[in-house]
Amino acid sequence: MSAGAPILSVDHVGVRFGGLVAIADLHFDVHPGEIVSLIGPNGAGKTTAFNVMTGFLKPSQGQVRFRGTSLQGLPPHEIVRLGLSRTFQRTSVFPDDTVFDNVMIGLHRRGRARLVDTLLGRDRTGEAALRDRARELLDWVGLAGRAQDKAGSLAYGEQRLVGVALALATEPAMLLLDEPVSGMNASETQVFVRLIRSIRERGVTILLVEHDMPMVMEVSDRIVVLNYGRLIAEGPPAAIRSDPAVIEAYLGQGSAAREAAQAARETIDA
């Protein structure tokens, strides 16, 4: 694990909805510049964890710290201001606006225009700068050709890219991606992996939730595995691939799981 202070620490977070335990006790750190994946079977509590980190849900216990600041009680729009941004699993766009206007909405925090300036027509230069920035962002995620299309009319994979552009528009220090490649085919996924790497190269730390295991194994520096709201394993991809607890979580305790676990042990021994 890299040294130095973590950029994000999830400190013994628990979430309960009445009697249902969505997250029992989640505890892990992410360090600056890392690409970390949060994986686990359906219902393991991954999206719930994202919602806690970004202020959409209040944890029942524990807290999340971002760059040393506790996020306790902060609403989503203030957490973004601290430099922690996210994408959404399903609804990642403003459907009735063009892709370009989507990014313009995303640049809200960057705009400085006050209402008075708008009414007096003094926000022209600021608006021009925002439009330039929106074009840059669309170039970056590869959607320049789709700028004037309605976001709601794009394919799912492209809507994900709009979501990423929106998150990048807030100039985050860390980006949380919720199942970014679901609904993408293999080649689109490869393009997306390159995008994730280019985002990291610009100094943005990345935490992603994803079901596409080959993609997770390829892109992650480290993987955190959740099951039934608990952390069951943590480590680099190679170690996670052969971790008996992880295999059990994904495949159950049937014969197939035992065989897989056996095979994993043999690879480690060899």
Residues lying near another protein in the complex (CB under 8 A):
54, 56, 75-77, 80-81, 85-86, 88, 91-97, 101, 104-106, 108-109, 111, 113, 115, 118-119, 121, 123, 127, 130, 163, 166-167, 169-170
Residue 151 C-beta: closest distance to another protein, Å: 9
Residue 15 C-beta: closest distance to another protein, Å: 17
* Closer by beta carbon to another protein, 115 or else 270: 115
With a CB cutoff of 8 Å and minimum separation 6, the contacts of 220 are 35, 36, 37, 208, 236, 237
Residue with tokens 């295999």: 247
Residue 164 C-beta: closest distance to another protein, Å: 12
* Closer by beta carbon to another protein, 76 or else 252: 76
Burial (CB count within 10 angstroms: exposed 0-12, middle 13-18, buried 19+), residue 188: middle
Residue 91 C-beta: closest distance to another protein, Å: 6
154's tokens: 């794009």
- The 3-state DSSP class for residue 32 equals coil
Other beta carbons within 10 Å of 124? 10
* Closer by beta carbon to another protein, 176 or else 233: 176
Residue 165 C-beta: closest distance to another protein, Å: 10
The identity of residue 1, as a single letter, is M
Dihedral sign for Cα atoms in the order 141, 145, 148, 153: negative
* Closer by beta carbon to another protein, 31 or else 133: 133
* Closer by beta carbon to another protein, 118 or else 267: 118
Give the largest Cα separation in the chain, rounded: 74
Residue 169 C-beta: closest distance to another protein, Å: 7
Q: What whole-number distance in Å separates Cα of residue 34 and Cα of residue 176?
A: 12
Paired with 96 in beta bridges are none
Residue 207 C-beta: closest distance to another protein, Å: 15
* Closer by beta carbon to another protein, 146 or else 230: 146
> H/E/C letters for each residue in 188-243?
HHHHHHHHHHHHHHCCCEEEEECCCHHHHHHHCCEEEEEECCEEEEEECHHHHHCC
Contact 78, 264 (CB under 8 A): no
Q: What whole-number distance in Å separates Cα of residue 228 and Cα of residue 17?
A: 14
* Closer by beta carbon to another protein, 105 or else 232: 105
